[in-house]
């Protein structure tokens, strides 16, 4: 068990350590200004000195990202189910959803502030907007690929439409939905931070997005790097939770979880 964990963890850890060493060496060798590229040691110091502030920010951003992700997951799965059940709705709505997905988030983020006001609601809305489409598309694809033979089995046994959805199409689509949720998890954190850039309060309890903008204003590049590190960690945790959920749901019957 420990051996296996070690085998899994060793390659990425080794690569990261090597890159950090190279980075530190390059900073020593070329001595760029602290403002352009901080040394890894400086970033580590920023992480340590700003730890309480960074933790609070991670918590706030994590909450917004998780809320946005959960909303997107719920809406995406329900909407995907509805679209998969109706050819008419799918033909009508799916192209529109695809088009909406092309709208750049950064361009409409200021609009979100107008609609949702300053605060977490804008960040959550922004997270929902970017992470909805992968869930919707994955749900729709998964359900539409349901084995026609199994659909016939349900028809022969006079299943209701709701039984067919709950007992056949939804479980059938879970592997695909989990993949969509994995993608959505990372996007939700990105969406949240974009939302925070335009619509979060600065101050004592500032989320990661605000931490980044204010650190930039103070020329604290080391702090920017530290905040980026924290944001990635938040995304990683969300991704991990989704992967764990997928593993729990699929490990007994699906090849992807073995």
Give the interface with other proteins as residue ranges (CB under 8 A).
147, 149-150, 152-159, 163, 167-168, 171, 252-254
Q: How far is the CB of 124 from other proteins (least distance, A)?
A: 33
Looking at beta carbons only, is 39 or 77 nearer to other proteins? 77
Q: How far apart are CA 227 and CA 210, in angstroms?
A: 10
Looking at beta carbons only, is 3 or 252 nearer to other proteins? 252
Q: How far is the CB of 153 from other proteins (least distance, A)?
A: 5
C-alpha angle 171/175/178, rounded to 5°? 110
DSSP 166-182: IIIIHHHHHHHHHHHHH
Looking at beta carbons only, is 126 or 179 nearer to other proteins? 179
In which region does residue 117 sit, left (phi positive, over 0), alpha (psi from -120 to 50) or beta (all else)? Answer: left
Contact 139, 176 (CB under 8 A): yes
Q: How far apart are CA 253 and CA 258, in angstroms?
A: 9
Q: How far is the CB of 166 from other proteins (least distance, A)?
A: 11
Q: How far is the CB of 163 from other proteins (least distance, A)?
A: 6
Q: How far is the CB of 209 from other proteins (least distance, A)?
A: 40
Q: How far apart are CA 211 and CA 218, in angstroms?
A: 11
Cβ contacts of 219 within 8 Å, gap of 6 or more: 35
Looking at beta carbons only, is 122 or 146 nearer to other proteins? 146
Looking at beta carbons only, is 78 or 150 nearer to other proteins? 150
Q: How far apart are CA 166 and CA 238, in angstroms?
A: 26
Q: How far apart are CA 219 and CA 25, in angstroms?
A: 23
Q: How far is the CB of 243 from other proteins (least distance, A)?
A: 19
Contact 24, 41 (CB under 8 A): yes
Looking at beta carbons only, is 115 or 253 nearer to other proteins? 253
């Amino acid at each position: 068990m420990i051996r296996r964990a070690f085998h899994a963890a060793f390659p990425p850890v080794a690569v990261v350590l090597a890159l950090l060493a190279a980075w530190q060496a390059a900073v020593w060798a070329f001595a760029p200004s602290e403002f352009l590229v901080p040394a890894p040691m400086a970033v580590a110091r920023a992480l340590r000195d700003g730890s309480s502030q960074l933790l609070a920010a991670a918590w706030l951003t994590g909450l917004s990202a998780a809320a946005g992700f959960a909303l997107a997951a719920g809406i995406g799965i329900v909407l995907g189910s509805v679209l998969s059940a109706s050819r008419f709705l799918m033909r009508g709505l799916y192209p529109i959803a695809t088009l909406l997905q092309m709208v750049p988030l950064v361009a409409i983020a200021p609009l979100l502030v107008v609609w949702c006001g300053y605060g977490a609601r804008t960040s959550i809305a922004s997270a929902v907007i970017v992470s909805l489409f992968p869930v919707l598309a994955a749900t729709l694809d998964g359900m539409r690929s349901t084995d026609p033979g199994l659909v016939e089995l349900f028809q022969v046994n006079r299943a209701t439409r709701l039984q067919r959805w709950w007992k056949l199409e939804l479980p059938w689509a879970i592997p695909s939905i989990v993949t969509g949720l994995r993608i959505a998890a990372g996007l939700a954190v990105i969406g949240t931070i974009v939302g925070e850039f335009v619509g979060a309060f600065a101050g004592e309890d500032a989320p990661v997005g605000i931490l980044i903008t204010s650190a930039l204003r103070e020329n604290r590049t080391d702090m920017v790097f530290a905040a980026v590190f924290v944001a990635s960690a938040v995304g990683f945790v969300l991704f991990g939770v989704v992967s764990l959920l997928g593993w729990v749901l699929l490990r007994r019957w699906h090849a992807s979880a073995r």
